[in-house]
Amino acid sequence: MMAAIIRSLPSICFKYPKYNSSFLKTVSKSTNFQETCFRSESTTQQIPKLEEFDKPQFPGSQSRWTEKLEFVRGDIYDGIPVYRVMNRDGNIIDPSHDPKLSQEMITRLYKGMTLLNTMDRILYESQRQGRISFYMTSFGEEGTHFGSAAALDPQDMIYGQYRETGVLMYRGYTLDQFVNQCYGNKNDIGKGRQMPVHYGIKALNFVSISSPLATQMPQAVGSAYALKRSQTGLCVICYFGEGASSEGDAHAALNFAATLSCPIIFFCRNNGYAISTPTHEQYKGDGIAARGPAYGIPSIRVDGNDILAVYNVTKAARQLAVEESKPVLIEAMTYRIGHHSTSDDSSAYRSVDEVRFWHQKDHPISRLRKYMENQKWWDENKEKAWKEETKKQVMQTVVKAEKLKRAPIDEMLKDVYDEMPPHLKEQLDAVKAHVEQYHEHYPVDNYEKA
Ligand SMILES: Cc1ncc(C[n+]2csc(CCOP(=O)(O)OP(=O)(O)O)c2C)c(N)n1
Ligand SMILES: [Mg+2]
């Protein structure tokens, strides 16, 4: 029996790296396994101390004994509170939590949120008119985007899910870049090879969006681990929806980040829906923030419609992540006012009254506007002039983008490899020959010549 246990040790030790190889050799030679375990000095696992035997000493948990037979239930406590700074009238509740952002900064944030809103309206309509193939709006979530983006270092790496357009806008992605990407024209950085809204730009440290849910999460942890090793003083922020949190990748990411102590901010946008699935069908626990402590990750829940609160928590999370090299989890509570995407009609699964409540009574843009009006920094005239200006700006950008041709067909298979391998070259030649032969069936004039 003992021999069998000893033979199986290498595989056990692989899972528990605390036993190193010299320990293994000692164990293999030993006739008394129990004795060896207590003698070994090479293990990094805490050896139980006899004087602390009044506490459980299992290596997998730190806890206390109990003689009560009690299940830990998720439904007996009030839940993690929602941190806020402003009330719905735009008044600061506790002045000691006012981040005291300058008028210039607040105006920048407000202008960004409203510009995004206008761009969303116009590009959504473009899709309805068949000018672009797909679009996703961020209506109602603007506070989570701009509040978090403003609290980061511009060099921090961003991994998004797809509904974080405002984060990229704050970083400096231009209207031209957004619209060219959605139109997939030759000026798009990705040369029109991605679906609309799948933005990415190396210069702004924003990793390209990829549709399969939660795949960005373990990748983001890998980046954070690299940042930790290179000691740059930077961190990663990884955005994801509460729906994506149900993916296995989300678990892997949270657990790796915790065990490897990676400087990463997990930013969950809890907007109430994963397409048509409401949160109460998605999970039974206390949201996403409640999962953090189970992974050993400091966690907080914030009112995502309060941009100042989002700014404060992201700033504090960044400090924790960078100074203590730790993951932090933020759950920003908000509401997806728009349809999931242009492929969705949310009236099939939620009431107009529900949407109207959030649009009229708890909107991040109107809350910041109230704050600005309270400070006498904004008024109706400024609002009207800015709205007209943003509409003009976006419309002009769209008109320009529509006139541009698409990238040459040759670009389709480039940039995957440094040098195109023969099998791809063969496929490209075949496509080109086909299109040339049947050119009357293809919109060849819409494409730039190679
Ligand atoms: C692995 C995978 N499964 C399913 C989908 C289809 N899908 C696209 S978005 C989405 C809902 C995601 O909801 P959430 O994470 O809450 O983000 P939100 O759209 O609310 O911003 C689903 C199921 C997908 N893209 N990838
Ligand atoms: Mg969601």
Measured from the Cβ of residue 265, the count of other Cβ atoms closer than 10 Å reads 29
Judge whether residue 403 has pLDDT over 80.
Answer: yes
Q: Which residues line ligand 1 (CB under 6 A)?
A: 163, 211-213, 241-244, 269, 271, 273-275, 336, 340
The string of pLDDT tens digits covering residues 15-67 is 323 333 333 333 334 444 444 334 444 556 677 776 666 888 888 888 898 99
Q: How far is the CA of 276 from the centre of ligand 2 (A)?
A: 9
Distance in angstroms (rounded) separating the CA atoms of residues 255 and 327: 10
**What residues contact 205, with CB distance under 8 A and at least 6 apart?**
154, 155, 156, 157, 158, 171
Query: Which of 341, 366, 411, 448 is flagged as catalytic?
Result: 341
Position in ligand 1 atom list of the atom nearest CA 275: 11
- Interstrand relation of 264-270 and 277-278 (parallel, antiparallel or unpaired): unpaired
pLDDT given for residue 77 in this prediction: 79
Average pLDDT over residues 180-200: 97
Average pLDDT, the chain: 90
Q: How far is the CA of 39 from the centre of ligand 1 (A)?
A: 52
Distance in angstroms (rounded) separating the CA atoms of residues 99 and 297: 25
Name which residue leads in pLDDT, 65 or 422: 422
Q: How far is the CA of 243 from the centre of ligand 1 (A)?
A: 6
Sign of CA dihedral 296, 98, 235, 136: positive
Position in ligand 1 atom list of the atom nearest CA 247: 1
Query: Which of 145, 339, 340, 363 is flagged as catalytic?
Result: 340
The string of pLDDT tens digits covering residues 333-378 is 999 999 999 999 999 999 999 999 999 999 999 999 999 999 999 9
Respond yes or no: is residue 359 known to be catalytic.
no
Residues above pLDDT 70, as percent of the chain: 88
Respond yes or no: is residue 340 known to be catalytic.
yes
The string of pLDDT tens digits covering residues 69-114 is 999 887 777 899 999 999 999 999 999 999 999 999 999 999 999 9
Q: How far is the CA of 154 from the centre of ligand 1 (A)?
A: 27
Distance in angstroms (rounded) separating the CA atoms of residues 318 and 133: 37
Respond yes or no: is residue 211 known to be catalytic.
yes
- The full DSSP string for 290-333 is THHHHHT--EEEEETT-HHHHHHHHHHHHHHHHHHT-EEEEEEE
Query: Which of 42, 133, 211, 343 is flagged as catalytic?
Result: 211
Distance in angstroms (rounded) separating the CA atoms of residues 127 and 141: 21
Position in ligand 1 atom list of the atom nearest CA 211: 25
The string of pLDDT tens digits covering residues 140-154 is 999 999 999 999 999
Instruction: Provide the whole-model pTM.
Output: 0.89
Ligand lying closest to the C-alpha of residue 340:
1
Q: Is 59 exposed, middle or buried (0-12, 13-18, 19+ CB in 10 A)?
A: exposed
